[in-house]
């Protein structure tokens, strides 16, 4: 496959930016002005010299064909990644005809590329030959056992906290405040059970989350209790459910499913951030298999996660599922070509079927907050202070989640619809539907709502 004619949109390029300031700075560099000797190769490389404030222009090169998403190199001192020059160069490549002509990479770019490709080859060769088993299986087993013991102690302690809460009554939780659960969460971190820690922390936030909080607190306490109990009796669970419990507890696992090669349409990509970590979620849809898979990628505080797959492109690649019943999480394996534009769309369902889909998924994983679904022919409809997605052909509707209602993506969705039915991909759960991507009726590019 060649790169000529395979252009990304500006939105797809801007989605790579680590923050709003980079997006803005990159946009300004997306014009011919400061660039010289820009070019691109059929192998999927873009390079150029960007005039900065100094006398020597910055050397920028991007490898868009890299199997792990675009790779960047720039001689500027910026610690942002990708830097504004890499974004500007990609915008220039995406935008103006002829601004980035096809050609032979100059020496400085070729050197970096050759180095990268060599390292990738070496890694692949090493991965193929070395056995994945740890050097000392006995030591690993003892480490795992020690960790399981600590988690068991943590789960017991958490059960004690929950029964104390129910004995005194939820009404007391409002006075108890956030600190108690924060402290409990810290103890779960010590017990090496990050999944329990996160749920414990969320419990602390519920009493201040508005009307109906006692019901939510009871639900989440009960599900946390269910997780504790499932962990304590994991020996008796079916393998798949036990694997789900381990991943909910926060134990690391690695993808063990057979690699599935498909043309994966990137349905959506969005980040959630907390002070310590940026989590990037990328939803993929196999256009041949019909499978939906979730890729997760993490970035340390303030840094964008490394994996970036712009929405609307498709990639010819293998993915492998993580263990667990109904588990959608997968890992990206070998990529056979760079992401390229596609007109494929996922098949959608009406709202009633989407709700059934969530109900069935809960059978495999009762802690599941939401499932990915594509809704066909729905109309964004105002409903008092909130919004819903109403079937065009029945009188049924799914409410939007409170967070979805306050995001700018809602208005892009409403604008795209204009009162007419649209196809919408998003996450549906007990809180409602969160739209992530929408397609207009008839032809047209998908619109990101993240």
Distance CA 320, CA 291 (A): 12
Residue 9 interacts with other proteins (CB under 8 A): yes or no? yes
What is the full DSSP assignment across 176-243?
Answer: H-HHHHHHHHHHHHHTT-HHHHHHHHHHHHGGGS-TTHHHHHHHHHHHHHHHHHHHHTGGGS-HHHHH
Q: Choose one: 93-101, 183-191, 270-278, 300-308; the region binding other proteins (CB under 8 A).
A: 93-101
Given 54, 238, 252, 442, the residue binding other proteins (CB under 8 A): 238
Residue list 163-182, contact with other proteins (CB under 8 A): 163-172
User: Of the two residues 42 and 441, which places its CB atom closer to other proteins in the complex?
Assistant: 441
Q: Choose one: 59-67, 101-109, 259-267, 361-369; the region binding other proteins (CB under 8 A).
A: 361-369
User: Of the two residues 321 and 398, which places its CB atom closer to other proteins in the complex?
Assistant: 398
CB of residue 279 vs other proteins: minimum separation in angstroms? 22
Residue list 370-389, contact with other proteins (CB under 8 A): 379, 381-384, 388
Which candidate, 55, 6, 2, 10, places its Cα nearest to that of 30?
Answer: 10
Distance CA 208, CA 219 (A): 16
Q: Choose one: 13-21, 133-141, 190-198, 275-283; the region binding other proteins (CB under 8 A).
A: 13-21
Eight-class DSSP state of 417: H
Which candidate, 115, 118, 104, places its Cα nearest to that of 47?
Answer: 104
Residue 306 interacts with other proteins (CB under 8 A): yes or no? no
Given 343, 394, 403, 406, the residue binding other proteins (CB under 8 A): 394
Residue 430 interacts with other proteins (CB under 8 A): yes or no? yes
Residue 221 interacts with other proteins (CB under 8 A): yes or no? yes
User: Of the two residues 2 and 386, which places its CB atom closer to other proteins in the complex?
Assistant: 386
Total number of residues binding other proteins (CB under 8 A)? Answer: 88
Tokens representing 78 are: 């910026």
Residue list 135-164, contact with other proteins (CB under 8 A): 162-164
Residue 6 interacts with other proteins (CB under 8 A): yes or no? no
Residue list 260-279, contact with other proteins (CB under 8 A): none
Buried b (16+ CB within 10 A) or exposed e, 229-244: ebbeebeebeeebbbb
Mapping DSSP to helix (H, G, I), strand (E, B) and coil, where does residue 142 land? helix
User: Of the two residues 114 and 420, which places its CB atom closer to other proteins in the complex?
Assistant: 420
Q: Choose one: 65-73, 266-274, 312-320, 417-425; the region binding other proteins (CB under 8 A).
A: 417-425
Residue 411 interacts with other proteins (CB under 8 A): yes or no? yes
Buried b (16+ CB within 10 A) or exposed e, 139-154: eeeeeeeeebeebbeb
Tokens representing 246 are: 């381990």
CB of residue 301 vs other proteins: minimum separation in angstroms? 18
Distance CA 269, CA 17 (A): 12
User: Of the two residues 182 and 219, which places its CB atom closer to other proteins in the complex?
Assistant: 219
Eight-class DSSP state of 102: B
Q: Choose one: 91-99, 140-148, 291-299, 333-341; the region binding other proteins (CB under 8 A).
A: 91-99
CB of residue 295 vs other proteins: minimum separation in angstroms? 25
Tokens representing 318 are: 């293998």
Beta carbons within 8 Å of 78's beta carbon, 6+ residues apart: 84, 85
Residue 42 interacts with other proteins (CB under 8 A): yes or no? no
User: Of the two residues 54 and 127, which places its CB atom closer to other proteins in the complex?
Assistant: 54
Distance CA 195, CA 139 (A): 25
Tokens representing 446 are: 């998908």
User: Of the two residues 164 and 183, which places its CB atom closer to other proteins in the complex?
Assistant: 164
């Amino acid at each position: 496959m060649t790169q000529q004619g395979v252009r990304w949109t500006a939105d797809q390029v801007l989605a790579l930016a680590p923050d709003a300031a980079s997006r803005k700075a990159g946009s300004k560099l997306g014009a011919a002005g400061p660039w010289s000797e820009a070019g691109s190769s059929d192998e999927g490389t873009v390079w150029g010299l960007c005039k900065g404030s100094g006398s020597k222009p910055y050397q920028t090169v991007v490898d868009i064909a890299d199997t792990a998403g675009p790779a960047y190199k720039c001689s500027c001192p910026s610690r942002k990644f990708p830097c504004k020059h890499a974004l500007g160069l990609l915008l220039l490549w995406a935008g103006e005809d002829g601004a980035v002509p096809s050609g032979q990479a100059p020496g400085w770019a070729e050197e970096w590329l050759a180095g990268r490709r060599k390292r990738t080859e070496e890694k692949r060769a090493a991965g193929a030959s070395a056995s994945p088993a740890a050097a000392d299986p006995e030591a690993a087993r003892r480490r795992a056992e020690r960790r399981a013991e600590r988690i068991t102690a943590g789960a017991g302690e958490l059960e004690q906290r929950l029964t104390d809460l129910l004995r005194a009554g939820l009404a007391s939780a409002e006075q108890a405040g956030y600190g108690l659960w924060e402290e409990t969460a810290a103890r779960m971190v010590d017990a090496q059970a990050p999944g329990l820690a996160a749920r414990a922390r969320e419990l602390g936030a519920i009493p201040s989350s508005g009307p109906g909080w006692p019901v939510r607190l009871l639900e989440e306490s009960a599900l946390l209790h269910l997780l504790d109990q499932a962990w304590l009796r994991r020996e008796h669970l079916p393998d798949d459910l036990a694997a789900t419990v381990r991943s909910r507890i926060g134990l690391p696992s690695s993808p063990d499913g057979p690699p599935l090669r498909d043309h994966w349409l990137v349905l959506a990509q969005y980040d959630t951030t907390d002070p310590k970590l940026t989590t990037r979620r990328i939803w993929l849809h196999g256009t041949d298999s019909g499978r939906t898979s979730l890729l997760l990628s993490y970035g340390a505080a303030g840094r964008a996660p490394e994996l970036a797959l712009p929405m609307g492109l498709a990639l010819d690649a293998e993915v492998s599922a993580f263990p667990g019943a109904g588990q959608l999480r997968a890992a990206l394996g070998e990529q056979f070509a760079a992401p390229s534009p596609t007109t494929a769309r996922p098949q959608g369902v009406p709202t009633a079927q989407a709700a059934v889909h969530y109900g069935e998924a809960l059978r495999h994983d009762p802690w599941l907050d939401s499932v990915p679904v594509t809704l066909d022919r729905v109309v964004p409809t105002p409903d008092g202070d909130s919004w819903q997605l109403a079937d065009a052909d029945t009188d049924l509707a799914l409410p939007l989640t409170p967070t979805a209602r306050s995001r700018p993506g809602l208005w892009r969705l409403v604008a795209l619809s204009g009162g007419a039915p649209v196809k919408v991909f998003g996450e549906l759960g007990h809180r409602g539907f969160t739209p992530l991507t929408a397609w207009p009726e008839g032809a047209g590019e998908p619109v990101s709502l993240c």
